[in-house]
Amino acid sequence: MPAVKRVVKTTALSTAVGLLITLQAAPLAWADRTTTSGKSKDAEGGRNGKTMYVQTKVQTTVNGSSSSPKTGKLSSADSNWTPPACWYEPAFSPKQIEETVKLWRSIDGLPFLGGVGDFVGDALDNRYKDGHPYKDYNLDKQGEGMFWAAAVNPNRKDDPEASACDKPPFWVDNGDTPEEPLAVTPRVLAEYAYDELPVPDTEITMAPAGTTKVNLPTWVWLDKAKFKKISVTASLPGTGLSATTTAEPVSLHIDPGTSDARTHPASGDCEINGDDSIGEPYAQGKANDTPPCGVTYLRASGSDGSYPLQATVTWKITWTSTTGEGGGLPEGTFGATQDVTVQEIQSVNR
């Protein structure tokens, strides 16, 4: 299946909004996106607490696909780590800063907005024209660098950490690396790509299906067509900078939903097979055999109840980049819960 590309496009209006500069009491940042994947979505510019966000320029491409129409996002197995909520990236040229000031000053003729345009325009000019710290919008450096601005991860725009990138746009010469610790790097792109990985659902196949019996082994397996490597490449247009993050399924963990059960194997961890399947499909005549992946319930779930069996796939995560940097990221997990009714085996005495 061909790769699916999600491309972020900037409109003139979102560029204008994105160039709003920090006023002392209300820091502003920038990170909204319009995404195309078959069709366009409206831009989602807005306010996140004290932070204005517009559009990130990062593009993502999904490589590989799953036969499952249902996909989800990974959760980090490391509770102390999450993908970045924000970063700084090259965003605006000197001419864009100048044009935005003109745009702001032009809105004073609109109803209910009298004076607002000049107020914002004065704030912009104070920083970017009048030498505090930039003069004449750095127009004499047009083509020699960019103003870097904050971008918010669209998947995490409501996280408190999204407000950490509260600096107004700052100048960086072409080829220089900002000293700002939250500046975009290959690893930041890789971590953002982690957040974009579309992993398939983990709806397992069971035999018996749905309803089983006490002390009767229940076989569990996952079709090999569902679980293959999948990767996402995140790139920053115009920089040659990109990173590819790859997820590879390694095991399935079964939690039977009750302590009155035995898992197979005892750890509940079913390793992935050489053909990318997990477990083994049930075959006629194996009802009393111990499955390589499964569960045996020791107590009935009750006439009106069921056990919430949870199946969670663990994915190994690695990344590479155009700079040669790479390595591992925390393993990711994605799971689903299925209800299992367990009944007593009925016997007839004659």
Residues 169-228: pLDDT tens digits?
Answer: 999 999 898 999 999 999 999 999 999 999 888 888 999 987 899 999 999 998 876 678
pLDDT at 347: 53
Longest dimension (CA), the chain: 101
Which letter does DSSP use for residue 163 in this model? Answer: G
Structural domain spans, the chain: 4-55+85-181, 201-343
pLDDT at 303: 75
pLDDT at 29: 31
DSSP letter string over 36-67?
ESSSB-----EEETTEEE-----EEEEES--S
CB proximity list for 92: less than 8 A, separation 6 or greater = 15, 18, 19, 146, 147, 149, 169
pLDDT in tens, 99-130: 988 888 888 766 766 688 888 889 999 999 99
Tell me how far apart the terminal alpha carbons of the chain are, to the nearest angstrom. 61
**% of the chain residues with pLDDT over 70:** 79
Q: Mean pLDDT in the chain? A: 81
CB proximity list for 81: less than 8 A, separation 6 or greater = 330
Contact 334, 202 (CB under 8 A): yes
Residues 327-335, mean pLDDT to the nearest whole number: 96
Helices 116-128/94-105 angle, 10° precision = 160
Exposed, middle or buried: residue 97 (CB in 10 Å: 0-12, 13-18, 19+)? buried
Banded pLDDT at 68 (limits 50, 70, 90): low
The full length of the chain comes to 350
pLDDT at 106: 84
pTM comes to 0.79
Regarding predicted confidence, which is higher, 194 or 44?
194
Pairing relation of β-strands 59-63 and 261-264?
A: unpaired
SS (H, E, C) 193-248: HHHCCCEECCCCEEECCCEEECCCCEEEEECCCCCCCEEEEEEECCCCEEEEEEEE
- Alpha-helical (H) ranges within the chain are 12-18, 94-105, 116-128, 186-195
Cα 348 from Cα 174, distance rounded (Å) = 84
Q: Tell me the one-letter amino acid at 128.
A: Y
